[in-house]
Amino acid sequence: MSNTWLLTKLFLKNGTSEGSGKKANRRSRLTAMFFLITIGGLPLLYFISKGVYTTYPFLKAMGQEGLLTLSILSIMTLVTLVFGILTVIMYFYFSSDVEILLPLPILPRQIVAAKLITVIIMQYAVEALILLPVLINYGVAAHLGSSYYVTVLILFILLPMVPLVISLLVTMLLMRFINIGKNKERIRLIVGIFGLASAYLMKNLFDYLPGASYLSNSGLALQSSLFAKLSSFIVSLRFGDAALQEAGTLKGWLYLFLFVAISIAFAVLAFFVADRLYFKGLLGLQNTGATRKTLNKNELTSTLQQRSIIRSYFVKDMRILLRTTPFLLYGVGRSLLVPAIAVGSVIMNYGLIMEGNEFSLQDVPLAYQSLLLSAFVFAVIFMGTVNTMGTTPLTREGKNAMFMKYIPVSYTKQLFAKVLPTVLFNSLNILAVTIIAWLFKMPLLLMIEGIILCSLVIIFSSLTGLILDLHSPSLDWDNEYTAVRPGLKILTNLALSLLSGSFMLLFLKVTVMPLTAFVSIFIVYLVLIVLLLLYLKVNAQKLMHRLM
């Protein structure tokens, strides 16, 4: 047990470090990031609080207020389950500390336990931003007692356990039977792609599980509801939600006990399997194979053709992203997975949503179309800031960042070219939201306005991510997975994007005309982007010299 706690402290220390440099500088950067996350999270808290207080009376009138807690618990579980496989592959198998730990007299279950605890603790940051505000506001709206908040605290601590263990078990089985052969880079890619496919298939599996009908009295039956099916698939989720609904009663404490017992049982199962499979999946992990290719005259000539600086640097960054397995899985993979899940979920449940009604966004009154436009933009903000691509453009260079100093290209052009891959892949989120808006018959003019604003949002978030990475890069890494691990920079970038999006709320208070709101928001984002570009132009050389 002592080894487990020592390893946990070590992993937490390494996992929460942001950037390099003196200890005082790192501390000041962390303080600044926490401040930005707090300020930027205020619009999110406002939306959550207003949403809960608006939705609760409506659901209570139908006797279905429990759907509010079930939905947020299901969303957090689904997010953890889908992205858990990528996190486990990266953190449990391809982390740089694996080679150091293998020769030490440490049991596999101790390493797995320490890493599992670390990942769960890191998951608390997301839960604190989304889960806690919903549950706390629900408790205030329903006038619930102290026993409810005790239940919330226990759910907050243990909720990530079961989905992460499921992801861990799937990954250990994959690595045990696939991790053979000499070409380990190709094996990593195969395992990663299989993991992504498994995550997507697990999500779609819920569309075929029998669900429960929650709103039969109102005619809006949720027989195929993702939330109901997910709670049927993950039993602990059902008991956790029941514990919230019955908080303070004997039945509520019994449900809470069952939730805790199932979570602990899953953890014990993970440790049991780890003793038998974890080390076997690690054997030979660092061996690599290589091939040589002889270029003919035409191929050599094509590679030596002169191109524009921006294009050449953009192509170089794209090749690094697509050819480096960790960058491909954790950066590009997430950029593809999130819009695919969003569109897939809507298409799979489209028939149920449209059944028995003629729902259309064209019927939304003019006074609410500005809100519809802001929802379009906020959807892209959330979808575009969940991967590490935007906040690691410089970190991905590692020790090769020194190359940027000696080539005859200005830092401004090099940094601008690094933003382009992020903009390109995040544009898929605009495509996904546009498809969803088209399915629900959003007015064409409003859709075009949303696409234009979302394009500006993506450029803005890409620039803020680059600036954050410039101020706090982690260049001293010896493993690509270390470079793209999630950190505070993702949350900080999300907070900054939400803070910029809060301007939309101000304009919506002033005007309800969608065209006026569009022009106002367009001007604000355009000014912000110009200011960021000017900041980069003025400070790029100073920041780069400070790093090198």
Cβ-contact 377, 501 below 8 angstroms: yes
pLDDT of residue 437: 84
Residues contacting residue 468 through CB under 8 Å, at least 6 positions apart: 391, 489, 492, 493
The percentage of the chain sitting over the pLDDT mark of 90, rounded to a whole number, equals 12
The beta strands (E) that lie in 98-212 are given as none
The per-residue pLDDT for range 460-471, each reduced to its tens digit, is 989 998 988 888
Choice among 183-187, 307-311, 509-513 with the minimum mean pLDDT:
183-187
- Considering the chain, what is the average pLDDT of its residues? 76
Cβ-contact 215, 110 below 8 angstroms: no
* Cα atoms in the Cβ-side hemisphere of radius 13 Å centred on 466: 27
Count of C-beta atoms within a 10 Å radius of residue 208: 9
The per-residue pLDDT for range 65-118, each reduced to its tens digit, is 777 888 888 888 887 887 777 778 778 877 767 778 888 888 889 999 999 998
Q: How would residue 256 be classed by pLDDT, with cut points 50, 70 and 90?
A: very high
If you average pLDDT over each of 223-232, 294-303, 436-445, which comes out highest?
436-445
- Kindly tell me if the per-residue pLDDT of 208 is higher than 50: no
The per-residue pLDDT for range 469-496, each reduced to its tens digit, is 888 887 777 667 667 766 678 778 877 8
Angle at CA 131, nearest 5°, toward 50 and 484?
120
Q: Which residue bears the tokens 């006038």?
A: 143
DSSP letter assigned to residue 398: G
Which of 159, 157, 166, 7 has the alpha carbon at shortest distance from 83? Answer: 166
Rounded Cα distance, 471 and 547, in Å: 9
Q: Which residue bears the tokens 């170089």?
A: 316
Burial category of 215 from C-beta neighbours within 10 Å (exposed 0-12, middle 13-18, buried 19 and up)? middle
Rounded Cα distance, 25 and 265, in Å: 43
Distance between start and end Cα atoms, the chain: 42
The per-residue pLDDT for range 163-203, each reduced to its tens digit, is 899 989 988 887 777 654 445 555 555 555 655 555 555 55
Token pair listed for 351: 């028939």
Token pair listed for 394: 């410089």
Q: Which residue bears the tokens 């954050």?
A: 468
Residue with the bigger pLDDT between 212 and 131: it is 131
CA distances from 532 to 19, 465, 468, 527, 535 (A): 21, 11, 12, 9, 5
If you average pLDDT over each of 133-142, 255-264, 300-309, which comes out highest?
255-264
Q: Which residues of 421-440 are buried (b: 16+ CB within 10 A; e: fewer)?
A: bbbbbbbbbbebbbebbeee
Q: How would residue 133 be classed by pLDDT, with cut points 50, 70 and 90?
A: confident
Which of 341, 324, 321, 344 has the alpha carbon at shortest distance from 332? Answer: 321
Angle at CA 128, nearest 5°, toward 144 and 261?
70
Cβ-contact 502, 43 below 8 angstroms: yes
Which of 366, 335, 372, 359 has the alpha carbon at shortest distance from 461? Answer: 335
Rounded Cα distance, 454 and 373, in Å: 10
If you average pLDDT over each of 2-11, 176-185, 219-228, 483-492, which comes out highest?
2-11
Cβ-contact 160, 80 below 8 angstroms: yes
If you average pLDDT over each of 3-17, 106-120, 224-238, 480-494, which comes out highest?
106-120
DSSP letter assigned to residue 182: S
Rounded Cα distance, 463 and 446, in Å: 26
Cβ-contact 375, 447 below 8 angstroms: no
Cβ-contact 135, 71 below 8 angstroms: no
pLDDT of residue 158: 92
The per-residue pLDDT for range 383-430, each reduced to its tens digit, is 777 777 888 888 888 877 788 878 888 888 888 888 899 899 888 888
